[in-house]
Chain A
């Protein structure tokens, strides 16, 4: 009977034989005791779950709970933490840099959507109609995604050299444009960051769209063709509605990811020039880690909580607003 108890409760298709066996066994089964639990493999099951429970407990669930506590405390790693109520939130909300950081982050997210949302979709639709060499295209599309982000940023930083001998300025000079200051000017710095971020990330979006496009049933296209639909009508009436679920989810995921942009502003410009690329995450980093005398961990935790709460509310509102459109 040891084997029987371990049979999963919701196993999808229990063969008739085992089901009968289970029924027969239930009849003369003793009460559940810790000993039968161990003998039935319950302990081994729990032991197998220990790595998961330990790693998530220690490095995910515990720190999530800890953020809430820390946001209400003043912590400097030396003295014991002191409860300060909502002081950290007040400090953050009164920081004159916060509106700048929020504005810059929204700007980054909007530009990233503008650059990085339509282009992958067009690329994926074109690629899904390739008769040959689709693998070659997929490799080319995805290659920038595997480049370590630090390398990508530092490489693009040399491209963005503002002198007339910089890589981009040389190329644009051939057609009589520039030289542009790129990262050195407050107005062009942020678009430059977004351009690199799009280069580095668009490939993954293309592959996700491509997987969604290839999952669209061919029967739908055939039916549309039989009804006399043109190519454009099929794109608008079949392709896009069929993948709208994926389109909506990648959009919200991209917004959530860009709201936490850190690497680009940190390595390209350190938030400059003139705080024009200071993002919310860079501000959190500065609160906690930029001050060599000891970080303001409470304020950092408070601001990360506010960002997370905002993103959660935003996602909920987004899902609500798009629900009628996304369900089939």
Chain B
């Protein structure tokens, strides 16, 4: 077990570095940097003055240094929790993160909870009654969940809310700590939308895992010794079938922080996603890098925890 933990931890660091490097280089490839945008906005008279201004701003922001040097400097600062100054918002990126992160986290958590609550029972029922009408209904339901892209369900729900309840997403975000009811009213719709979407693969995986497990010998043994169907399904089959499902949920859970971006846009939730989309269009490198870095970090951390949990639950993994 200890060896497995060490191996898994050793893999964590290069992956995180690789992901951050990727984003860093990618943002440097974006045509038109912040200096150009700032200068052309103010609109000075001659182009030689503009060019000088651009060079001056680049020098101030350190953009004239080689990318490798920039990356190392960024990494060194980031390790201390300093993500630099936002180019467009004139405040530290860390403050933006502290403001936005909890909102996206809450939305992601709510989404995942809603999805798991109904996806797993549906998957179990679907497997136990394979090829019955319930199975078909569940499969069509989950496939339709997969087929309705997030922005379609989001748009339809928004339309329904506007039409039926005259409800439009509030422009001001209310934190859960300030007013829980108001906060949930704002987040429940995007969470339900996305939960419907991600519950589909969870249902399908639960179904296929259950189908596999339910044919195993020990399940036959459990039946043969006269256990009730409920005990066979829930105590024997489900426990083993759920292992890969847990990994998958963990994978999705880590993914969701960045995955709720479309919901944030439709339902006007000022979270990380909306900030990120805006920062990309404004070439606000420090904000983009920090946001994506945090998203990748959370994703990798969640995966690490799930993997270790999995290895602890299933001894076959750690000795493989």
Whether A and B are associated in the same complex: the answer reads no
- Which B residues contact A (CB, under 8 angstroms)? none
- Which A residues contact B (CB, under 8 angstroms)? none
